[in-house]
Chains A and B, each alone.
Chain A
Amino acid sequence: MNRALRTLPHRTANCRSLCYGSALTFLVVLLQGCVTATVDEMTFLEPTEGIGDSSVVILGRRHAPDYETEFDFIECIGDHIRRGDNSITVLHELEFINMMYPWFEPRTAPLNPQDIDRLLMQEPVANQFTDIKLEYMIWIDGSTIETNSSGSMTCGVGPGGAGCFGFGTWGNASDYEATIWDFTDQTEVGRISANTSGQSYMPAVVVPIPIIAPVQGTACDSLGDQLLDYLSATR
């Protein structure tokens, strides 16, 4: 069993000042706020030689009434794993859910690995799983929320031009947990959680300059890295 607890402070703020107007837009894109990330990992039965030609699917939990795991977050993790090791086949979430309809809708999705047996009682479902050679099913549960916001900004338009003045700030927090199911053995083989938080700022003197903390992106990278470590034979 491999257990690791890591705290990863990310300072990604770039404070370059460029004089050229054309570079200003580029700078705005580059400016980012600070994000703090905590990753907690507990995995076992790692596929030390990789997963071969089998496939992995990453799915979001969406049965809770007050939040749902974002589709773009799931896509982000899938892309992260594909970029890290292109030998790993990560199925697209929506394609998988459509292919398996109606068994992975919020109402019907299996909540624990033992439920897979019930799905396999349906012959077409069992055949589909065989066709796609599914080895790991990874469930991501969580969401990103806005924790606080303050400040004010006023914008105006006049004959001479337009502009804004003021200052705004808001905080975001992400809390995600990935649960890895070994599809063949129908057991849970790991849990990885990532908690990130950060504060974004938007000062405006004529032009608003957003300094965005990539809270969800950092959570995606953190979870993606850990999942890649688990699945990839090359890392």
Chain B
Amino acid sequence: MISGPNRFIRLTAAAAIALVLAACGAKQVVVQGNFPKPLMEKTPLTLGIVYTESFANHEIYDEAAGREETDWLVKTGDAQVDFWDTLFGGMFTRIVHIDSHDALHAVERDVDAVIIPYVEDLQYTIPLHTNVKVYEIWMKYRFRLVTIDAIHDHGNGELTYDPNQSLADWTLSAYGKTPTAFLQSDEEAVNLAAVVALRDAGANFATSFHRVPAVAEWLDTKNTIKELPAPQANNEGNGVSDDSESVSL
């Protein structure tokens, strides 16, 4: 049994070692935020949404490049799903999640189209990397709008889609930054930058969706075109994909 000053010294030493080890460990950010509903006229569509596993569990792991740096793990999956659900829910008359065989068959007659978002790239910088007192997150998304017929159920719980049946396939980028602030940790600042980037992605999507040429053409056939204020940023890659293979969801 340890007692008296000995015990105090050992506890202090243990606490100090724990502190040092904690400082050496990876920094982890599980992005969290409150996202507002978009204030806009809803497009009269029933939109199916497929969140792929890689999207719903999206994370980026960045290994430290030197002894002065630490590993970073930024998990955005939950926040992505939460955010895009809120945005799509405010933009379209009805949204339905297609995440299983049953869900597919339950909604296949009601759905006008299915949207499949992907995070193609995510990059971040912290003041340690750039010597600029700003935390930044940059994200690149790819959206695929497909007909419900393009989603295939293989009977084993696996859903795939045929890119040849894409209505539209486009990318958009989003950027979020937050300045360094007194008493704000790196993790809090990266989280805030990610939330700003998500909001920016939503603003970009909401103002550009109807202007993606392939989407506009499709909406025209459904007579649901809305006149929206012109976006200040351009879309990147507005064409329909030429992919020809089946893609697993």
Q: Which residues of A contact B (CB under 8 A)?
A: 68, 70, 98-103, 105-108, 115, 118-119, 121-125, 128
Interface string of B232-246 (1 = CB under 8 A from A): 110000000000000
Q: Could you tell me if A101 and B232 are in contact, using CB atoms closer than 8 angstroms?
A: no
Q: Which residue of A lies closest to B207 (CB)?
A: A108
Q: Would you give the shortest CB distance from A161 to chain B, in whole angstroms?
A: 18
Q: Could you tell me if A107 and B232 are in contact, using CB atoms closer than 8 angstroms?
A: yes
- For the complex, give the distance between the alpha carbons of A99 and B38 in Å: 8
Measured between beta carbons, the chain A residues less than 8 angstroms from B41 are: 122-124
* Known A-B contacts A122-B40, A122-B41; A102 and B229 likewise in contact (beta carbons under 8 Å): no
Q: Which residue of B lies closest to A119 (CB)?
A: B229
Q: How large is the interface on B (under 10, 10 to 19, 20 to 34, 35 or more residues)?
A: 20 to 34
Q: Could you tell me if B177 and A98 are in contact, using CB atoms closer than 8 angstroms?
A: no
Report if B23 contacts A (CB, 8 A). no
* Known A-B contacts A105-B200, A105-B203, A106-B200; A100 and B229 likewise in contact (beta carbons under 8 Å): no
Q: Which residue of B lies closest to A104 (CB)?
A: B203
Q: Would you give the shortest CB distance from B172 to chain A, in whole angstroms?
A: 11
Q: Could you tell me if A125 and B40 are in contact, using CB atoms closer than 8 angstroms?
A: yes
- For the complex, give the distance between the alpha carbons of A122 and B233 in Å: 19
Report if B89 contacts A (CB, 8 A). no
Q: Would you give the shortest CB distance from A61 to chain B, in whole angstroms?
A: 13
Q: Could you tell me if B40 and A124 are in contact, using CB atoms closer than 8 angstroms?
A: yes
* Known A-B contacts A68-B177, A101-B39, A122-B39; A107 and B203 likewise in contact (beta carbons under 8 Å): yes
Q: Would you give the shortest CB distance from A112 to chain B, in whole angstroms?
A: 12
Q: Could you tell me if B200 and A107 are in contact, using CB atoms closer than 8 angstroms?
A: yes
Q: Which residue of A lies closest to B229 (CB)?
A: A118
Measured between beta carbons, the chain B residues less than 8 angstroms from A107 are: 200, 203-204, 207, 231-233
29 contacts between A and B (CB under 8 A): A68-B179, A98-B36, A99-B36, A99-B39, A101-B36, A101-B38, A101-B199, A101-B203, A102-B39, A102-B203, A102-B206, A102-B207, A105-B203, A106-B200, A107-B200, A107-B207, A107-B232, A107-B233, A108-B207, A108-B231, A108-B232, A115-B229, A118-B230, A121-B228, A122-B228, A122-B229, A124-B40, A124-B41, A128-B39
Q: Could you tell me if B227 and A108 are in contact, using CB atoms closer than 8 angstroms?
A: no
Measured between beta carbons, the chain B residues less than 8 angstroms from A119 are: 229
Measured between beta carbons, the chain A residues less than 8 angstroms from B179 are: 68, 70
Measured between beta carbons, the chain A residues less than 8 angstroms from B40 are: 102, 122, 124-125
Q: Would you give the shortest CB distance from B238 to chain A, in whole angstroms?
A: 18
Measured between beta carbons, the chain A residues less than 8 angstroms from B39 are: 99-103, 122, 124-125, 128
